[in-house]
A and B are shown apart, each in its own frame.
Chain A
Amino acid sequence: MLISKLKYFIPALFAFTLVFSGCEKDKLYDVNEETILPANANKTKLKSDQQYIAILYANLFQTALSSDDLFEASECVQSIGDKDLVHEVLISNYMNQQGVILPTNEEMRADVDGFLTETYNRFLVRNPTEAERQYFKNYINTHPNVRPELVYFSFALSNEYQYY
């Protein structure tokens, strides 16, 4: 008797559960609009002449420039109208001095990945993106005359390096 009753109850229960649980309203998840910016987009403030020189010197020599030298060097930058040009002259002046801390060409070529990570960290305070890493690896590997000094020079001249 009980078995014959269960015979109808269980399928009915299953059907009931199926019908009413299936009617539960679906949750909708929206996605907020986000502007996707590259890793370097948080740099919005232009360095002053003194900031640029102080950071450049520290990046190249791994030591601080004296305040007298910093003042004089910033006057030099102000004394020439083309900022790109005076930065070039300043960097090449530093590159001609003793004490610039640079890896050798052999060290760079033995570990290009490591060199790139170190260079990005040193100058741009971030890691390279995959695209950047790929470009520079390719560029260094296909240009045997490119040495660490030239890579450092290009980073110090870049627009991103003017900002923090």
Chain B
Amino acid sequence: MKRRGFIKKAAAATAGAFTVPYILPSGRLFAASGAQLAEHVVMVMFAGGVRQQESVERNYLAQSQGIPAEGNIMYNMLDGLPPTQKIVYGTDGNLAGDTPIPQILNSTLQQQGTLFQEVRSSHAGHYGGMNALLQGNTLFSQGLRQKPLNPTVFEYARRHLGIPASKTWFVGGGIGNSTPLMNYSNHPDYGPDYGANFLAPSITFGSQGQEHLSNAKIYHPEEELNPIYQMKYFLDNNFENVGGTIESIYNTEDEKQNIKLFMREMYNLGGNISRPPVSDNNDLNTVAYAVEVMKWFKPNLTVVNLGNVDACHSNYTDYLRALHRADHAVGHIWNQVNQIPGMANNTVMLITPECGRNLNSNPIKDENDWRAFDHSDANTQRVFTQMVGPNVPSNLVRGGIGNQIGETADNCPTIAEILGFKADVMGSGLISSTAQSLFDRI
């Protein structure tokens, strides 16, 4: 072959390698539809129902208990000085909670990224709110103990990016509130073939997991696991399954082996993982393991669900403590993400509460005689969203009291835009007609 001909063919082959679409589990062909703003996204479903008054309004006790003590207890995420009196949200010193947790970020996420101060949450409940964040839709026909009806952002990502299950993770704070159902939908065009791996570290690596999973025998992949799988597949081929399908996400055998090695490593470490400086509640435990998931698998999409703030139903002091720790947790995630090779400087993080909380309290009082708050009224529709990372404008605030910009359903198309499949999501006809990428709202 002449030199010129060789160069021509080599160039064509190289171009082809970049443009040939992916072959996906469905057998259909899709090309990645857009440029990526970052290769990785972490979304934090923030904390379990957060009032604007104590978060972006920095009112501490002033608009909940009628005590003139204002200040910012989320100083990793938001600008503003902390309260100077009635400190109960920290760790225990001379008095319970009197020692605030030191800030762990050099500059706040507000300074590093973009804050949408007033975002509309269309759901007053956790499950509906989380589904809106994941599906980009506010389906009111969605049942509580039912798989999402429309595709989740995990499914969009896997289908339209052609990535395997181990590249999408949903790390839940537990298994209550139908949380394990949210890793994929029932939608016929998407579903379990495109679902994310789900993990609830408080169970998997908690006392239950230690008792029932940690002592697993390690089988030799070729000499032991191969025969097991071969005999299993023979039995499966002989089984006339007339009772419906077994629904579960699917990891390849290599992925399964890798996940088992990850679990083994976590059990071997016995909880000695890179935890936040303060790690005294379930949310902080959850983010510690979420970070380990990110270190091990470097997922394109990780969603972390925190929920301790929901203590506010019956204990306002615990709510403040959990809110302060949720901020600490987010700071820890951002610190750690930017130390993971491959994810550092290549990850966008989004933080949004799934719903707000009521304006008026319920009758329950805690040990400080402070009133608790549920989530059902118009104030519940008020939340915020923060974005930080490459291609996200820094030190930008959009919206404010009385000027809602954005909605919780925006997070799904926003993630799609960051990872490069926005056109597929926007053209799917399956997201809310009012949802749009937050980049388009800036």
Contact = CB atoms under 8 A, between A and B. Distances in A.
Contact of B212 (A44, A76, A145, A163): A76
Contacts of B197: 80-82
Interface residues of B, number: 54
B215 A93 contact: yes
B213 interface: yes
A155 B232 CA distance: 6
B241 A81 contact: no
Most B-side CB within 10 Å, residue of A44, A79, A157: A79
Interface in A148-163: 150-151, 153-155, 157-160, 162-163
A43 to B, nearest CB: 6
Interface in B210-251: 211-219, 223-224, 227-232, 234-236, 238-244, 246, 248-251
Nearest to A154: B231
Interface stretch (A3-11, A23-31, A101-109, A131-139): A131-139
Contacts of A67: none
B51 to A, nearest CB: 30
A84 B216 contact: no
B191 interface: no
A22 interface: no
Contacts of B195: 81
A89 B263 contact: yes
B152 to A, nearest CB: 12
B350 to A, nearest CB: 21
B251 A41 contact: no
A46 interface: yes
Contacts of A96: 215-217
B260 interface: yes
Contacts of A90: 212-213, 216
B146 interface: no
B251 A45 contact: no
Nearest to A136: B231
A61 to B, nearest CB: 14
Contact of B239 (A80, A82, A97, A158): A158
B180 A46 contact: no
A157 B208 contact: no
Interface string A81-121: 11111101110110111000000000000000000000000
Interface string B48-65: 000000000000000000
B251 A150 contact: no
Given A146-B227, A153-B228, A157-B232, A76 B208 contact: yes
Contacts of B218: 92
Interface residues of A, number: 50
A85 B263 CA distance: 11
Nearest to A38: B240
A59 B87 CA distance: 57
Contacts of A146: 227, 231
Given A154-B235, A159-B241, A76 B256 contact: no
Given A97-B215, A146-B227, A85 B243 contact: no
Nearest to B248: A83
A34 B218 CA distance: 47
Contact of A85 (B180, B240, B251): B251
A86 B239 CA distance: 21
A159 B180 CA distance: 22
A150 B246 contact: no
B259 interface: yes
A75 B248 contact: no
A44 B242 contact: yes
Nearest to B168: A81
B236 A80 contact: no
A85 B259 contact: yes
A78 interface: yes
Contacts of B203: 75-76, 78-79
25 contacts: A40-B240, A46-B244, A72-B211, A76-B213, A78-B175, A79-B201, A80-B197, A81-B197, A81-B198, A81-B199, A82-B165, A82-B251, A83-B246, A84-B250, A89-B216, A93-B212, A93-B213, A93-B216, A146-B231, A150-B227, A150-B228, A154-B229, A155-B235, A159-B241, A160-B238
Given A79-B209, A146-B231, 6 more contacts: A38-B240, A81-B249, A90-B216, A97-B215, A150-B224, A162-B246
